Structure 1
């Protein structure tokens, strides 16, 4: 059993042991097996599999207190709790996974500003495409803060999925193609989030204003 004392050590060990590993996701129904290659299923299964890997390595990791809220998990290293989000995506495409629901993120970080320091454990996989091989190969592992995988976009101060005029999910920048394409620091990120909230304040039912959120978070930082 590895004696892992920090999330950085967990990242290094995961990178060393898992990058280059191949896998497959299958379903057996009516006595017929099928290897599934759909991106949504591979990504979702890897996101569920990774915490089991952490537990196997001896890391105390537990689901967050509220399953539908940011972040997904809390990992404990020598009594030091670290909020952890787990994500996976097909690196043939730009990263487009949800970082967090926008208004839920605002609500959570207003109540607990420390969650802004959550770490994102991200797996980049490539589905087999040679016409014969099935499954996928893990090619990249990242450990990032949220401001290291986000940036402003053409339309909004941060990457956002917007549906019918309502912000739904925060989305990452294309850190796979350009790992330097992100906010300079947490302060730039917080300012951009506050600007995005101002843009959509008219559709929010949160009990605090963008300025109140900003002042609350900045007082913590």
Structure 2
């Protein structure tokens, strides 16, 4: 068997856009059960199906990647043999609407950065898709860092899903819009400061308030040799 080819997230993005020309392709989703075939016309399962498709595309091109046994665990794909680098997350949304996916559970994300601060360097491959009469197409594809697709919200230092003063998920902004009220963060440091400021606002985050930002930055320096 030929040796697997190492690729970066940027190379995957470039190959999908320029070589495979994914935004020019038309597809569909079908289920076959007992010899009966039905075309799927919904949108609820598209995220999981595109993740399966991307894994198969990587396999067919002999590109190196790994997936964790628990499909709900971060990240969706590991592009290196290290457990602390090569993080690739896949996100999808209906291109006829604004991005409404969850970037991460807020509490879990804050906890994970205390242990693996390199997670902040993860790449996010984002598919804006359309499903019309059972025909699936990719309207646009982006490769983003977390701070490039998040922003303040006005109400909070960072855009969140909040219910009854309880923070649930970290949410994206509409980073590609020309009419943004709040621009995406300029760098990872501004993003981390916004997270830290958010921790001071919500009672559920009491456990993180003490030196959270300092701990994350110190751990990141220890692990990477780079100051944030």
Report 1:149-160 matches (<5 A).
149-160=149-160
CA distance in 1: counterparts of 2:64 and 2:198, whole angstroms = 35
CA distance in 1: counterparts of 2:139 and 2:112, whole angstroms = 32
Aligned counterpart, 2:14: 12
CA distance in 1: counterparts of 2:124 and 2:152, whole angstroms = 19
| Superposition TM-score, scaled by structure 2 size | 0.82
Aligned counterpart, 1:26: 30
Shift of 1:179: 9.8
State the Cα deviation string for residues 138-195 of structure 1 (Å, max 9, x = none).
1211111000000011321111112332211111001232498310111110000111
Task: Tell me which of 111, 114, 118 is aligned to 1:114.
Answer: 118
Aligned partners of 1:5 and 1:78 also within 8 Å: no
Task: Tell me which of 80, 105, 117 is aligned to 1:101.
Answer: 105
RMSD: 2.7
CA distance in 2: counterparts of 1:203 and 1:72, whole angstroms = 28
Report 1:125-164 matches (<5 A).
125-128=129-132, 133-164=133-164
CA distance in 1: counterparts of 2:64 and 2:48, whole angstroms = 21
CA distance in 2: counterparts of 1:163 and 1:203, whole angstroms = 12
Secondary structure of 1:58's match? Answer: coil
CA distance in 1: counterparts of 2:85 and 2:62, whole angstroms = 15
Secondary structure of 1:150's match? Answer: coil
Report 1:1-221 matches (<5 A).
5-16=7-18, 17=20, 18-29=22-33, 32-64=36-68, 67-76=71-80, 81-128=85-132, 133-178=133-178, 181-200=183-202, 202-204=203-205, 206=207, 209-219=208-218, 220=220, 221=228
Aligned partners of 2:157 and 2:197 also within 8 Å: yes
Aligned partners of 1:44 and 1:88 also within 8 Å: no
Seen in structure 2, the aligned counterparts of structure 1 residues 136 and 68 have a Cα distance that, compared at 3 Å, is: closer
Aligned partners of 1:4 and 1:10 also within 8 Å: no
Aligned partners of 1:126 and 1:139 also within 8 Å: yes
Aligned partners of 1:71 and 1:83 also within 8 Å: yes
Seen in structure 2, the aligned counterparts of structure 1 residues 65 and 216 have a Cα distance that, compared at 3 Å, is: farther
Q: Which runs of 5+ in 2 are unaligned?
A: 221-227
